[in-house]
Amino acid sequence: MITQDYLKSISKSKKPFVIYKSNKGFDLYTNFSKKIILTNKNIHNFINKISKNRSKNKNTDLYIGFFGYEILNNLIGIKPPKQKGLKFPKGIFYKPEIKVSLTNKLNYINEDLKALNNDFKININKKSYNKIFSKFKKKIKSGQTYQIKICTKYRNKSKIDPIDFFCRLSETNLAPEAFLIKDKEFSIVSCSPENLITKKGNYISTKPIAGTLKKTKKFNKIKALNFFNKNIKETKEHNMIVDMERSDLSKICTPGSVKIVKKKIIEEYRDLYHYVSLVAGKLKRNTSTLDIIRSMMPGGSVIGCPKISTLNLLNAQERESRNIYTGSFGYIKFNGDMRFNIIIRAILNYKEYSEISVASGVVIDSNSSHEFSENYIKAKALMDLYK
C-alpha cells in the first residue's frame, strides 16, 4: 500500500485522478491516456469498442467514469425535455495508465483550507414539494406508476477541496460505493452506498436499497430491521424495487437463474439505516455490455416503478437537469467485467457551484412531510462538510 503522502503529491501536481472504494481500501487511477466525453451520438460506439480491446489482464485494462442521468434515458429511448441547470457533460470516461492501492484511512490535511459558504438554497420548498407530491399521488391512484422519486437540489456557490471532502467523508461515513473524480474543471465526491451492477464472467448481481431510517438512540440494527419489517409502506416500497430489479436482470439472464441472494437486511451508516437486498443471476450467452447497461440503467431504486412510465412522468415534471444524480459511476474492463454504482449522496462542484441532489420515494401510503424530511437527512451528511 502507498502512504497517504501520495494524496498530497497528486493534489499539488494538478493531475486528474479517480478514487474508488475497493474491498481492501481504495484504488486510485491516474495518468489518463484517453478522456472520452460522452454524447448521445458517440455513446454506442464507445461502449461497443471497449469489449473489442484485447486485454493483457493489466489492472489498468479498463475505462472508468460515469454516465449521467440524461444520457441513460436517451440510451433506452426516452428523451427528457430541455431543462435548466448546469451545462455539465452527459458522461465522461478515462483510460488510466496507473493504478495505486490506498488503505481505508485516507489522512489528508490541506493547510491552506479557506472557510466555505455553507448557505445552501433548495430548489423546491416544502409548499412546492407538497404540490408535486399530491400530483404524483394521483398518478399512483390512477395506475400510471406504483412508486416515484421526487428529486430536490441543494445548491451554493463555493470552491471546494475535493480530496479534503472525500477523506472526511470516508472517515465519518464510509460507504461501499464511494468515489471521487478530480478533473481540471470539476470534481465529484460521493459516498454512494448502492451497487447497481457487479459483473464477473457470466455472473451478475445488483443490490437495491429501498428504505431509509434516521439513526436515533432508540434504534440499533435489530430494531431497525423490525421497524422496516413491520412497516407496511416501507415493505411495499422495498418489494416493488426488488421485483423491478429482478425483472431487469431477467431480461439478460438465463431463465430461472435470477435469485434473491440476500433478502431485506440492514446496512448501517453514520446518520441512517438502509433496508437492502441482493439479487443475482447468470447472464445469457452473447449478452453484450450495451445490453447490460440498457437493461439495468438508470437504477430503478432511485427512479421508481414501472421504470419507463415513471421516467416519463419524472421528466415531464422536473424543470432542472439531474446531471450526474441517479446516473452511474464505475468501470468497464476490457474483458467485459464491470462494476457500477448509482450516483447518490454526491456533490458535483462545477464552475465554483456545488450541487447536492437527493430523492425520496412516493407510494400510495407515503406522507409528504416524512418524505421531504427524508430528503434533508440524506443531504445533511454532505452539507455538513461545508461547516
The span from the CA of 185 to the CA of 177, in Å, is 23
Structural domains in the chain, sorted by start: 5-386 (3.60.120.10)
The span from the CA of 276 to the CA of 262, in Å, is 8
The span from the CA of 32 to the CA of 60, in Å, is 10
Q: What pLDDT does residue 106 have?
A: 87
The span from the CA of 186 to the CA of 164, in Å, is 15
pTM, to two decimals? 0.94
Q: What pLDDT does residue 56 have?
A: 66
Q: What are the tens digits of pLDDT across the range 253-273? A: 999 999 999 999 998 887 788
Burial status of residue 81 (CB atoms within 10 A of its CB: 0-12, 13-18, 19 or more): exposed
Strands (E), 230-352: 259-268, 272-282, 304-305, 328-333, 338-341, 346-350
The span from the CA of 365 to the CA of 143, in Å, is 14
Tell me the mean pLDDT in the region 130-146.
Answer: 94
Better-predicted residue by pLDDT, 300 or 26: 26
Residue 198 has pLDDT above 90, yes or no: yes
Q: Per-residue confidence at 80, pLDDT binned at 50, 70, 90? A: confident
Better-predicted residue by pLDDT, 84 or 312: 312
SS3 357: strand
Q: What are the tens digits of pLDDT across the range 95-116? A: 999 999 998 888 887 777 788 9
